[in-house]
Structures are given as structure tokens and as C-alpha cells.
A and B are shown apart, each in its own frame.
Chain A
């Protein structure tokens, strides 16, 4: 990309000229804000700080101008601008032209700056007076981040850069994978999550620099961290939904570096939200909270660096760019040095007397939660970076596939799930054994009843999955353990609500519904948090479904339309249908339609169960005029318990032959439902006290309250239904056009439109051993991103599967030892063939396993050691500070009066 200066000299587009000038002006304003904000705060110059604040607003306005201009360039097809030409074309829908703004690297950086500018305008406007003695530093810190991104934009990745000559008549178009409605909202929500981490970070730096380290700043920061948590969650779940619908591999989470980039700050933000409560309740952990805030910010920038510098391979990384990588590394280094320097400088004021009274206390459960979350964050960081680390140290690249994460992460996930249920049952300071028994009784009984019932009545609940540590595999009943913990969490939270309502009823004398609303609204953070825990438990229920999902590949030679048979029933012969997991799939038709933008080849398949037609679905492949690869448009038939998910993997328009991959994904809709519950809980936590106060005095009738509750239920129901139903949206396109018979197809087979045979169905595993081996081998074709040969749909993967089947011949697969030997030796043969372990989905390198485990166990040891000394100190403190003097009567009365006004 050319720099801004070059653009000014060579522009052939007035939009580019004005846009570049606007960005240069914004750059200058940002620099002024940094200087004025920091110097103004340091010199206690109100005029400079006020100027910096207005400068921040002005910067936001200038960046809005630049953003409006680039979108204007997109919608008016100004292909003199390189970025516009590379990420859009004339045939794209207007909606996608607008979203192409963040579809490429340059625009996404400008979009980042825009979102941060708008958020910081709100944050500064809201907190300007409240935090007036540190607002200069806050503005300065935010604008340092902006200056960094503006430096990248102005000198290296100018989105307004123009072609020197040969302006194209049309653009290259947006990556077809990004032309999906989820991509309209997924990137902005993830960006907002990333960007909103900058606000608490800026307030933290402001507090450190100004020395105002009391709890005032924490309240404001907590709100922004909650916003960050919400948008990161939203971004991640929408990304998952996009992957589920668009990538056609039947899953929603692939531990891709881009996904991990959003997940790491999510862990840190979650840890902060818990440890901030300890600071508020007990005045402890100030230093640790500062560190968490920094880590959240660090991971957002680091994640951006990972995906934009090309140091990791990802399905949606932006390609390798060493200059950009260097700029990011420098910024991260400066940010780290400054933050750590300030923390060290203020350490005396940050360090508080750490004292706990018992390990059986809520504060200790929060500490454990922090340890697990941070262990997860660092594990994800380590595993994501492991290939790069190994390459830089040994010159040999490794692959860390989904399997590695899936084998290692359940430990952390299940521990967190247990804590989500257990922590609410513990009291602050200490819980005696007697009380603990009473608290845990109901959740444990509920858990036991459900687990015994499931084991007795549902044989599939006895399924086991492999837990691996380095070279050791253990078959563990992970699904039933997860279900047990989910039930425990449900029971615990239900009990909290039940008992809370009972206490509230006794206190206020109101009915159950009023008490419930009163309880949730007066203790919003506590009960909103419980609802978030409930959402997490429901999410885990969705994750359990992964243990039971199933997949099949089938080839059907001709659709029933071509045979002239009746489509209203499944024919007796199986030439046009196949059965799977209790469903029958009738291949009815194959049609092809086209527009300026793409050619769509759509199969019509009816899904039957028990002789009844459940639905007609339309799996398709779209060949974009500007795209290199066809995109898979999956068809999903959602049911309450499971999704039936169809992929058209290949086809032959002439003969009508089609290859289908079918997944049956049990419980998957609980993933989306869990997120909705999580979002609702976060929303409750974010309700300001002023809103509750405004609502409280309003007289309510029973009818009115019932109406409120009904409205709430309807909103939630509509959201859930909308979310689930949206999975079928793809069907509408072909539905509207109606099924087109082969004879009516507008276009014949063309290049890149499938060779009629496909590869996905070839050499499928004949037994579990073959399947396990195939799941351990990465497809090395170069085009597939970390997919195993088991799931990859390309021809290279089919050849690899064939090799596996050839090499496994001769082994005795009737014994466990024989199967193990076959697996180990066949995998070893692939390692020898490729000369390194890059072909393995799970690295066999000891360091890959040992480093995170040692770090996590070491962290736990340190935590227990330190916490023990805090507990001892706390107990001594309780004895020493036991109030012996009788309370001053007048002050005791005053205190009682004040307590009466606290809800």
C-alpha cells in the first residue's frame, strides 16, 4: 500500500484526496490530544485538558468523515481507490458494499479507529466530571492507542491509497465467505468488544498516573468491562454461527487463531469482573485488577497483531506483513513497559493487606476462578502461538489442530462450570462445614437423581470421550460428568433464586413475582451474574452435544425428479434416498440459477421421519463470478433437540449425481440459547441504579406485573425463535425461485463448478480405528486450513484417506492392543513421509503439553501457598480486631437508620 503522502501526489479520486487529508488532520488532532491530555493533567492545566477532551470529540468527527467517505467510495464504485477495488465490485448488494468497509485489512483498521473514537466520546462525555482529576490521562491514553492505529493507517495501510495508473473498471469483489448476513454484524460486535477494553485500560492508566487509586474509578471501569464482556461474547457467538452456516463443516468453533484472538481477552475480562467484586467488598486485589485490565487490553491488541501480521495461519487472517508485525510489536512493548512501570511506581498504594478467613469462602472461589480463567487464556495463547514458537526455535513448523484444544480444554471448562454452581452457595468470609452441607444438599441431590436416571434410562449417556495428556489417552465419561455439573449449576442457581425470593418475601411482605423482580433489580449484579452463570451452563449443554454428533457422506446418482417418480412419498427402492440417524433424505431435484454475481447450484432434499415429511431443504454451492472457490450454502433443519445439517459437497449437473454430507448435531441449539441467557444476565447487570429508582415507586397492579413478565417472556421467546429460525434463511433464495428441473437449467456445467464426482465421500473410514487415525492427520493440501483428512472435502484428503486404509491393512483390529499398534504405526508412517510432525493435528512435542500444564499447576500451587498465608493472617486479624467496646449508642442508632435505607 502506498502512504498518505504518495496518495496526495498521485490521486485520481477526489474522495481519496479528501479522505487522506481528513486522516492526516485526524492524525494531527490525535497527537495534540495525547500531548494536551497528559501534559494538562500533569501540570493541572484545565485549559489543556478541556482542549484535549474537545480534541477527542473532534477526532471522532474527523474519523466519521473519513469513514463516510470510504463507504461513499464503495457505494459509488470509486475503483481508483485500491482498497475499494480489492474488496468490492459492482455486482455486490449495497449492504455488502457497506460492510466491505471492514472486509479487508486497511478498512478494518480504520473501522477499529472509528469504533474506538465513538466509544471513547461516550465514555469521556459520561465520566468527564466524575473523573475530572484523571480525565486528561484517560484522554491521553485513548489517543495514544489512536495515534498508533493512525500511524499504521497513514504511513502503511492507507485505505484511500489510489492506483497510479490503470484504474480497473470493476473491483475484485469481497471474499465470498464474508458475504453472509452474520458477517454484517459479527465483525462490528467483536470490534466493539476489543475496543471497549481500551476504555477500562485508559481509566486504569489514568488512576495509576494520577494516583487516584481508591474505588471510584473501579465503578466506571466495571461497567465498561461488562460492555466489553458482552460484545466479545456476542462477537464470538456470531462468529460461531457464521462458521456453522457458511463453512459447512458442521461445527461452530474450530479454535482458529482469529477466534482465539477474541477468546483470550474474554477470559481476562471475565476474571476481572470477578476479582473486581473482591476489591469492592474487601478493598483487596487492587494491583491484580490493574494487571487483569492491562492483560485484557494487551490481548485485544495482541489478537489483532496475530491475525493481521500473518504470524499465524488462519482461515480468515489477512496475510503476512512484516512491517505491520514490527509496528504492532513495538506498540505492545511500549504499552507493556509503560503499564508495568506505572504499576511498579504505584505498587505501595496498590498493595493492600490481603487477608481471607477461610478457603471455604466466596472470595477464595473467585480466586480459583481467576486462576482457571488465566490458565485457559495462557493455554490458548500458547497453543495458538506454538507453531510459530517451534518454527522460530527449531526451524520446523508444527500444527495445532482442533483436536489438541479439545483434548486439553475440558479440564478448565469443567472446573469453571463447577465453580459457576458452587461459588454462589458460599458465603463471603467463611462458610462452616455444617452450612455448606445444607447449601450443597439440593444441587447434589438433583445432580444424583438426573445422573442415575440418565445412566439407567439413556444408554448413550454412558458414552466416553478421550482425554489425552501427551502420549496417554484415557476414556473418560466426559458427557455425563458435564451433564452432572450442568445440573449442579442449575440446582445451585435455582436454589439461590428460591431462597432469595423467600427472604425477600419475608422482608417486604410482597408476593413471589414482586419479590423476584425486586430481588433481581435491587441486587442486579449478583442475580444478573447468576443468570450469566445459568447461560454458561446452558452453553455447556450445547457443548455436550458434540460428543453425540454424527456425520455421513452419501452419493445419489439421480434425483427423483429425473426418474419421474412421485415425490410425495419415499420410494421403495433406495436409488434416490438414504437413511441416517432415524431420518430419511429424499434427493428430489438439482437446479441451477444464476445472476450477475454468482451461479447457484441447489439440491432439493426432503427430510422424512417415520413416514412423515418434516421439511424440504436446499443445500447449495455458489460459484461467485469473482471468487476462486465455490462457497457451501448449508441447509439446516432445526429441531428442538438437534439440527439436521446438509451439505452439498459436489454434483454433476449433467447426470444429476450429487454428493451429500449430513450431520446430525444434537443439543446444538442450546449453544445459541445459552448465549441469549448470558446476554440477558449481562443486560440486568448493566441496568443503572437510576433506572431502577425511577421504576421503583410506580404503583403496580397484579395485572400490570403480569403484563411485564409476559412481555419479558415474549421478547425472550421471540429472540430465541428468531435466532434458531434464522438458520433456515438460506433456503429462502431457492424457495422463492422455486425448484428448477435439470432441463430448465440456465447454464451448463462450467469451470470450477464440480466435476460430478467430488471427493468428500471417497474412502470414508470403515471402522473406528481408521476414523481415529484420520482425525489425527491434518490435510496438507495447502488450501485447507487445519482441517483433518477425516472432514476435509478436497481430493488430497481423499488420497490421504486411501493411504490410511492401505496402510492399516494387515493389522489385527480385533484387540485393543492391535488397534493401538495400528494407530501408532500408521500415524508414524505419515510423520516419516512428511519428514516432520506438521501433519499431526495434535503435536507430540513434550513442550506443547508440559509448558501449559506446568504453568497451570505452578499457578495453582502458588495460589494455594499465598492464599494459606492470607487465611492465617485473616483469622489472626479477626481475633485481634474483635470489637470489645460497646457501640456508641447514638452512632449505633444512626447506623441502624442508615441501614434501614439500604436495600
Chain B
């Protein structure tokens, strides 16, 4: 947001650079991840205090000028004043954000990623299996029908879990930036504590090591499973193409 420091702006630029800049991005991975979770603005309470003070002073003035009679016009004026102060606050931020230097290289734009989508599909599969089990127990389906359907769902769920594992495991070297972006995006979105940030950093490091290993031994998932197909048809493929 607009309160981002220049440090993280700089690191964002590095992190989201071309594949040609990849080594640099890896070098900067740790400070980037840490910097993305910028420390809270120490002045935030002062700013909030000023905002509250302006609102309250206005309210007191309105009340005083109306001899503290809280009739409908006074209430409307006070609500109006609150809206005026809020409008000034938001519009100031509108302008400030528009002129901030946050563009182009921001991990903000990274989609949540294929792991998130696979996780969602897995959750849907698990719920579907439970739903069929529940229907069967309720007497809506025979055991054989339910088992037949559950077997299909289980097979698909296992494929998805495998795909998730494959995606979480260190992939080819060219997937490093994707993993790094994924971590950054997650940390940014979740806004977790320093512990979460450290975990993410370690994961990035593991990704770096694992990537070197998998350069020699590619592709963990079997290429003939749909899940593996799904895993291949991801932004990672695009990155590989860009890199080549």
C-alpha cells in the first residue's frame, strides 16, 4: 500500500525482474521477503489520533454552536463532518497512491498460484467424498453406488494430492522464481508474523538447493497422470519458455 518503504519497492523490482536477472533475485530473496512485511508505521497511532482529534473537535464545535441540543440537524451535521474528514483522508490517499512508485515489478500481481488452486480442488474433492458418504448413510444411495462414486473421487483426490506434493517439492531450476513469488505473495496476503516470514525464507532457501538437485533429476510426478499434466500447464512452463 502507500505506506511501503523504498526498501521494499526496490526489492519488489528485483524480485519480479526478467529471468535474466534470476540469480540476483535469488540473492535478494531473503531481504525481499522480510521487507515485504514492512514493519508497522510507528506514526500510525499519531495519524489515527490526529484523525480522531479532528473529528471530535468538529463534533464538539458543532455541539457547542448548537448549545448541546442533540436534535436531528445536529446529528446530521456531525455525521456530515465525519464524512468530510473521511473524504479528505481517503482522497489524500487516492492521490498519494497514484503517485507512489509501486509499479511494474510488484509481486502483488502474482496470482495465488497453482498450489492454491490445487488445494481448493482437493478440498472440494474431500467435501464431495464426505457428501457421498453422508448421502449413503442417509439412505439416498446404495453402498455399491456410493463406493463406485467415492472410488472415482478418491482417485482424483489422490492425483490432486500428488500434484500438490509435486508442486511443493523442488522442481526444475527454472521454477525457482515461481516458488519465490508464491512465497512472497502468500506472506504479503496472509500478513503473518515474523515466524511465518522466517518459514517462508527457509522454504525459499530449500527451493534454491532443491532446484540444483532436480536439474540433474527432473520431474517428480509421472508424466502420464492428469495431475502431472495440470502441473505442467502452469506459469512455470511460461517461465521456462521465457528463459529459453
Contact = CB atoms under 8 A, between A and B. Distances in A.
Interface stretch (B146-154, B201-209, B235-243): B146-154
The prevalent SS among residues of B at the interface is helix
B6 interface: no
A182 to B, nearest CB: 21
A897 to B, nearest CB: 10
B183 to A, nearest CB: 16
Most A CB atoms within 10 A — which of B79, B94, B99, B132? B94
The prevalent SS among residues of A at the interface is helix
B42 interface: no
A187 to B, nearest CB: 19
Interface in A875-903: 878, 881-883, 885, 887-888, 891-892, 894-895, 898-899, 902-903
B57 interface: no
A503 B91 CA distance: 56
Most B CB atoms within 10 A — which of A75, A216, A427, A888? A427
Interface stretch (B27-35, B122-130, B174-182): B122-130
B95 interface: yes
Contacts of A496: 138
B21 interface: no
Interface in A695-745: none
Contact of B102 (A47, A55, A438): A47
Interface string A413-454: 000000000000111111110110011000000000000000
A29 interface: yes
A36 B102 CA distance: 14
Contacts of B162: 888, 891
Closest 10 CB pairs of A and B: A68-B80, A58-B90, A61-B87, A64-B83, A51-B98, A427-B140, A61-B86, A51-B97, A50-B97, A883-B155
B215 interface: no
A655 interface: no
Interface in A20-60: 29, 32, 36, 43-48, 50-55, 57-58, 60
Contacts of B108: 46, 132
Contacts of A500: 134, 138
A76 B71 CA distance: 10
A609 interface: no
B97 A499 contact: no
B95 A51 contact: yes
Contacts of A76: 73
Most B CB atoms within 10 A — which of A45, A439, A506? A45
B86 to A, nearest CB: 4
Contacts of B138: 496, 499-500, 503
A878 B91 contact: no
Interface in A204-242: 212, 214-216
B189 to A, nearest CB: 5
Nearest to A495: B138
A: contact size bracket? 35 or more
A892 B158 contact: yes
Interface string B182-209: 0000001100000000000000000000
A97 B89 CA distance: 31
A45 B103 CA distance: 5
17 contacts: A47-B97, A50-B1, A55-B90, A58-B91, A58-B94, A61-B87, A61-B90, A62-B87, A64-B83, A75-B72, A75-B76, A427-B140, A428-B128, A432-B142, A891-B162, A895-B157, A895-B161
Contacts of A766: none
A438 B141 CA distance: 10
B84 interface: yes
Contact of B87 (A46, A58, A132, A426): A58
Contacts of A52: 94
A48 B129 CA distance: 44
Contacts of A36: 98
Contacts of B100: 47, 50
A727 to B, nearest CB: 28
A434 B189 CA distance: 50
Interface string A86-116: 0000000010011000000000000000000
Given A214-B120, A435-B142, A64 B79 contact: yes
A811 interface: no
A648 to B, nearest CB: 33
Contact of A57 (B90, B148, B189): B90
A212 B111 contact: yes
Contacts of A803: none
A52 B90 CA distance: 10
Given A61-B87, A281-B124, 12 more contacts: A44-B109, A46-B103, A46-B108, A58-B87, A132-B108, A133-B110, A214-B117, A431-B140, A435-B139, A500-B134, A883-B151, A891-B161
A899 B140 contact: no
A71 interface: yes
Given A44-B106, A425-B140, A895 B158 contact: yes
Given A58-B90, A891-B161, A434 B140 contact: no
A363 to B, nearest CB: 12
Contacts of B18: none
A178 interface: no
Contacts of A216: 112, 116-117, 120
B53 interface: no
B125 to A, nearest CB: 9
A686 interface: no
B24 interface: no
B145 A129 contact: no
A72 B90 contact: no
B101 interface: yes
A64 B188 CA distance: 32
A428 B131 contact: yes
A427 B141 contact: yes
A899 B126 contact: yes
Contacts of A98: 72
Nearest to A32: B94
Contacts of A61: 83-84, 86-87, 89-91
Interface string A115-148: 0000000000000011011000000000000000
A813 B104 CA distance: 85
Interface in B30-85: 71-73, 76-77, 79-80, 83-84
A627 B64 CA distance: 39
A875 to B, nearest CB: 12
Contacts of A215: 120, 124
Contacts of B157: 895
Nearest to A77: B73
A45 B127 CA distance: 37
Contacts of A892: 154, 158
A68 B94 contact: no
B140 A435 contact: yes
Contacts of B94: 29, 32, 51-52, 54-55, 58
Nearest to B141: A427
A895 B154 contact: yes
A280 interface: yes
A520 to B, nearest CB: 14
Contacts of B99: 47
A50 B106 CA distance: 12
A481 interface: no
B2 A50 contact: yes
A71 B117 CA distance: 48
A601 B174 CA distance: 86
Contacts of A428: 128, 131-132, 135
Contacts of A499: 138-139
Contacts of A389: none
Nearest to B91: A58
